[in-house]
Amino acid sequence: MNIKILDSWLREYLKTSATPKKIAEKLSLTSVSIERIENYKNDFVYDIEITTNRPDLMSVVGIAQEAATVLPQSGIDATFVKPKLDLPTIHPKKSPELTLKFDEKLVNRICAVIMEVKIVESPDFVKDRLDASGIRSLNNVIDITNYVMREIGHPTHVFDYDRLLNHTLIIRESKKGEKMRTLDEKEYTLSGGDIVADNGKGEIIDLISIMGTANSVVTNNTKRILFFIDNVEPTHIRKTSMEHGIRTEAAILNEKGINPESVNDALARGIELFQTLANGEIMSEIIDYYPNKPKEIMITLSEKKINDVVGINIPIQKSVAILTSLGFMVERQGETLIVTVPHRKSGEDMLIPEDLIEEIARVYGYDNIPDTLPASSSASYIHLDLNEFYWEDRIKDALKYWGFTEVYTYPMVSETMFEGPIEDAVTIQNPLTDDMVYMRRTLVPNLLQVAKENQDHEIIKIFELANIYEKNGKNLPKQNLKLAGLLKKPKASFLEMKGVIEQLLADLEIKNATFKPLTDRSGALVLIDKQELGVIEIFDDTIITFELDIALLLQQATRKKIYTPVSKYPSVIEDLAIIAPTTVQTGDLMDAIKKQNTLIRKVSLIDKYKETRTFHIVYQSYDKNLTDKEIGEIRKTILKTLKDKYYARLK
């Protein structure tokens, strides 16, 4: 998250001669990222991005300590002025009553104190500091809670003590359907499992750690406040805050899990400010319930480990100095450091040696670490024949040079775009929109969609190579790569698309493919041996598509090239015009011709008109010149076979 703080505020806790620009530059490279410095009146505002794992740095004091550590690394003088925060010792005569009950599973710590205050406007320095932070000034009491949050880093809250019915707070999980009105007068119906405060009558009087409610907040008439600092279970906070879109600074901080030890500092600083800015008088004992105290964390770290991870030698005294300056307690035993993590830093991100290595390395300066390339190369190799990426590149290039343009479409489709029974679809549980719910089972509808969206183009040739998805019982859904293409042009020809596939197969040295008509003649299956490679579909006079299975294609593709010797003897060529019933398949005629003799090198169709098909036949021997007589014999067998099998004759 980003926080904004004024330079003058930072310098209350940081003594340095560095300019704001210098501070920003050094912090950005070694600590938090200062994204911008803006002018504010006669001051500067730092706009600081702080990663979610470091809520301890989301405060003026946190940043001051960081700056005081990193600036001296570049020879810039800087010292951290640690805030003096001692809780006052109080002996109130007669404490106002307060009943507080809570669920220990929800609450880490709660501190509270009742004070008499005078509500007025805040002084200018408070208003400016909050304003620069992007927080609106309301009155001195509310402002103090925000001021403490920004300065110390722990959110705080105030209730109007006299508006709390029976002076009772019960902290519990909400039930489904409970209603509440936040202090900004918005009504919410809770879905259950939110942490709320109840006044003992079932009425919600606070959305704990997120926002106050209209029925308990401080007003201009408030005389007595309950200053209240709650530290509760963070995932509840995130759930409630996200679900209802109540993204207050308090919620954003609390959902990250702030160490409950810092409640002390916030409490002491708050009391001090109420006393100085709101004529605050302490009326009660300080209440401190602390059911979930964090454990003390100690980490052992060796010099070798530091150097292995960083890649250069950092002297151990240097590591000790850096950690100490950041507030860690370090005990050195020879080449080993035993480090105690200070409470305000302890959290999920300070548990293992690597966490400390990060602290040392970043302060030492990543810029001071040289560039090297890892010595080892990958231990795994892939034979090119099996390297899918090699083949995919070849396939894509071929299509590109045949005029096809590649598209990338979304694999999530609408119900209408989905092909097949919808109950078989791999379905997204939390789709972004209604037209992206199902994972596609074919690429073709997407290509048709692209053609439709580009209607102004009379001729379209496109392709896509992407996964399709299929349910697979309890296993992960099947994810198979497919290659699909679409041709759109006036009078689109099936043979044009078939030719693309034939040529693609030829380029991959796949020789055993056959084409089998679909039962309704709306296209053809493409088979390799008995396996289905894919399909060509004719949609109408203008659109033809294909889809092929990449796995099968690559299984058949080969880099093996076989040399066939070139004959020394000339070939003899003749064209035979054959009259045959139109129901006879050209492929069958060609196969029949080819099979007649091994001297027939090649058969091709050169013309087709009504019942006449003209075949171009190449005869060639490896051993001799062919005579007219020999060719005449072969021709005779060809014509006999064609006549017997297909009622065909020479024209």
Partner 1 sequence: MEEKLLGIKNNAISLILETKTVKELEEIRIQFLGRNGEITQLLKELPKIPKENRPKVGSLTNEVKNIIEDTIKTREATLNKTKSQNFYALDVSEPGIRPELGHLHLITQAIREITTIFTQIGFTRVRYPEIEWDWYAFTALNFPENHPARDDWETFFIKQNPDTKKGPVLLTPHTSSGQVREMEKNTLPIKMLNIAKTYRRQSDVSHTPMFHQFEGLVIGENIAISDLKGTLNYFVKSYFGKNRVSRIRPYHFQFTEPSFEVDISCGVCLGKGCRLCKEGWLELGGAGMVHPNVLKAGNVDPEKYTGFAFGWGVERVLMMKDGIKIDDLRTLYSNDLDFLKQF
Subset of residues 289 to 328 that bind partner 1, contact rule: CB under 8 A: 308-312
Regarding 117 and contact with partner 1 (CB under 8 A), the answer is: no
Q: Which stretch binds partner 1 (CB under 8 A): 100-108, 234-242, 502-510, 549-557?
A: 234-242
Regarding 251 and contact with partner 1 (CB under 8 A), the answer is: no
For partner 1, the binding residues in 163-192 under the rule CB under 8 A are none
Regarding 373 and contact with partner 1 (CB under 8 A), the answer is: yes
Select 278 or 350, whichever has its Cβ closest to partner 1: 350
141: tokens are: 């009491």
Select 371 or 540, whichever has its Cβ closest to partner 1: 371
Regarding 411 and contact with partner 1 (CB under 8 A), the answer is: yes
Regarding 382 and contact with partner 1 (CB under 8 A), the answer is: yes
Site track for partner 1 across 33-72, x = CB under 8 A: x-xx--------------xxxx------------------
285: tokens are: 């004992």
- The separation between the first and the last C-alpha atoms of the chain, rounded to the nearest angstrom, is 85
- Smallest gap from residue 519 Cβ to partner 1 (A): 32
Regarding 85 and contact with partner 1 (CB under 8 A), the answer is: no
Strands 99-102 and 168-173: parallel
Residue 360, Ramachandran bin (φ over 0: left; ψ between -120 and 50: alpha; else beta) = alpha
Tokens 């470091």 belong to residue: 54
R_g of the chain computed on alpha carbons:
40
Do the beta carbons of residue 608 and residue 579 sit within 8 Å?
A: no
Site track for partner 1 across 335-364, x = CB under 8 A: -------------xx--x-xx-xx--xx--
Torsion of Cα atoms, 135 then 137 then 142 then 145, to 10°: 40
Q: Binder to partner 1 among 124, 331, 393, 574 (CB under 8 A)?
A: 393
- Smallest gap from residue 533 Cβ to partner 1 (A): 21
Strands 204-207 and 195-198: antiparallel
Do the beta carbons of residue 614 and residue 577 sit within 8 Å?
A: yes
Q: Binder to partner 1 among 453, 458, 520, 540 (CB under 8 A)?
A: 453
**Residue 574 neighbours by CB distance under 10 Å:** 12
Q: Binder to partner 1 among 372, 416, 564, 598 (CB under 8 A)?
A: 372
Q: Which stretch binds partner 1 (CB under 8 A): 103-111, 337-345, 387-395, 543-551?
A: 387-395
Distance CA 195, CA 240 (A): 8
Site track for partner 1 across 553-592, x = CB under 8 A: ----------------------------------------
Q: Binder to partner 1 among 430, 519, 582, 598 (CB under 8 A)?
A: 430
Q: Binder to partner 1 among 454, 567, 585, 627 (CB under 8 A)?
A: 454
- Smallest gap from residue 40 Cβ to partner 1 (A): 18
Strands 460-470 and 405-406: parallel
The kind and range of the H/E element at 354 are helix 353-364
Distance CA 553, CA 484 (A): 13
Select 238 or 616, whichever has its Cβ closest to partner 1: 238
Regarding 246 and contact with partner 1 (CB under 8 A), the answer is: no
Select 406 or 591, whichever has its Cβ closest to partner 1: 406
Provide DSSP, 516-562: EE-TTSSEEEEEETTEEEEEEEE-SSSEEEEEEEHHHHHHH------
Residue 134: φ, ψ to 5°? 85, 25
Q: Binder to partner 1 among 1, 29, 170, 600 (CB under 8 A)?
A: 29
Regarding 214 and contact with partner 1 (CB under 8 A), the answer is: no
Regarding 529 and contact with partner 1 (CB under 8 A), the answer is: no
231: tokens are: 């530290």
